[in-house]
Amino acid sequence: MENNKTRIQPQNKYDLTRGTVWKVILRFAFPLLIANLLLQFNQIVDSIIVGRVLGKEALAAVSASFFIYYFIISLVIGIGSGTTVVISQYFGARQFENVQKAFSSFFIFMLIAGVVLSISGIIFAEQLFRLTNTPEEVIPDAVSYFKIYIGGTFLFVTFNSIISILRGLGEALRPMWFIFITTMLNIVLDFIFILYLNWGIEGAARATIIAQGIGMCVALSYVNNKQPMLSIRKKDMLFNWSIFKQSLKIGLPTSIQQSAIALGLIALLGIVNQFGTDTLTAYGAAGKIDTIITQAVLTLSGALAAFCGQNIGAKQFDRIKKGLRFTMLINLVFGVCTFMAVYYLGDRLMLLFTTDPEVIAIGKEYLVIMAFFFCIHGALNIYNGLLRGAGNTLFPMLISICCLWLIRVPLAYYLSDILNRTGIWWAIGISITIGFLITFFYFRFGHWKRFMVIK
């Protein structure tokens, strides 16, 4: 580590503890937003090609695969978020030698976890789809797509972990370019594999895996040769259990939260599947549109987490309050604009995926109801971002699990009997509102400050 230490120097361009608060947040958030939009654009184009060329059954297969895959990788997502918080606070406290220790420990963990998750997913693929009541005509395509997709889990989690860690250091521009490369490559390969080679739904999965693999290689090359605080050289890749325990302490609640959310999504998927292939297809397509819409606020949440992490490490709490007020204002303005756009253009957005009138109608119905709760959902994510930046992931975990399993899923079952499929959408919005109210009052009490890594 001696050589690594000598090249570790504070980097002002990554420092979020200095400068005008709103300018610092926007400067960090803008590349983050572009990167997140690129990721969603990638999924959108993937779904458009699959839906338009291969049909709504293939699109439903991709939608069903997403929820199950999200559940499987929830563990590493959570540990990655914990590592990002630890690195962010060490950076803010100017403890640069611990930044590399946290990174190398997490990277070694990812090597092992990625292989285990890939093998498990391939073995149990068909059983997972049958457990979620996936329509019988969708299962063959879903299994074929899923086995290839999950086979590249190591590539996916390694690439995204590097992106998250770089953001924890305050670096957002280069991760954006890495994602841009993988997105453009994925789209090009989609056209080649599906339209010209006629590989069907398996071609879509192969395109994603190859693109992620190339993106991972580019990101690792940058980390090893250009990033002064990180290294994957053999002499630097040591596992530090003490620091990794801090990542686990912060990340495990998020892992449990993500797993619970994923299971809840699967439970909701089971309810959605009862209404047939049209509803499943609309739910998947409209869900992708909804995800793109929410990227602005999710980006603010991620930016606020990194901003708070560094400023907590530097003990600048006044900057945190200013950052919270600014992100809330942006959320309010964007929420109102989004509702108007979805209300008047929802059906046109659904036309990107399918020309089936029933699927379009169901999709717009979902989007309008979700847009009604957009500002509330955004505020919840912003508060959760602040709490994550402070290292307090336990409370968001408890609230997410309770609202999901004690409110959303039971209410979806109940309202779907009364209002049919729209009851599911309203149950989602109601649970989000309750979660926001509880989180707001918790934040006001100030207990979140006790969870800081840097005392």
pLDDT-derived band at 211 (thresholds 50, 70, 90) equals very high
Averaged pLDDT, 300-318:
80
pLDDT tens profile 171-204: 778 888 998 999 899 999 988 998 888 888 889 8
**Domain-by-domain residue ranges, the chain?**
19-451
Q: How confident is the model at residue 455 (pLDDT cuts 50, 70, 90)?
A: low
**For all residues of the chain together, what is the average pLDDT?**
82
Segment 91-130, tens digit of pLDDT: 777 777 788 888 888 888 888 888 888 888 888 888 888 8
Dump pLDDT digits (tens) for 412-453.
999 999 998 999 999 999 999 999 999 999 888 876 666 555
Give this prediction's pTM: 0.68
**pLDDT reading at 219 higher than 80:** yes
pLDDT at 8: 44
pLDDT digits (tens, 9 = 90+) for 379-417: 999 998 888 877 787 888 889 889 988 999 999 999 999
Q: What is the pLDDT of residue 450?
A: 66
Whether pLDDT at 3 is above 50: no
Q: How confident is the model over 36-50, as a mean pLDDT?
A: 78
Q: In this predicted model, which residue has the larger pLDDT, 321 or 6?
A: 321
pLDDT for 408 equals 92
For 319-329, the pLDDT digits (tens) are 888 889 999 99
Residue 26: alpha-carbon gap to chain centroid: 20
239-289 pLDDT, tens digit each? 888 888 887 887 777 778 777 777 777 788 888 888 888 888 888 888 878
What pLDDT score was predicted for residue 382? 92
Q: What is the pLDDT of residue 1?
A: 39
Per-residue pLDDT at 5: 40
Res 6: pLDDT: 39
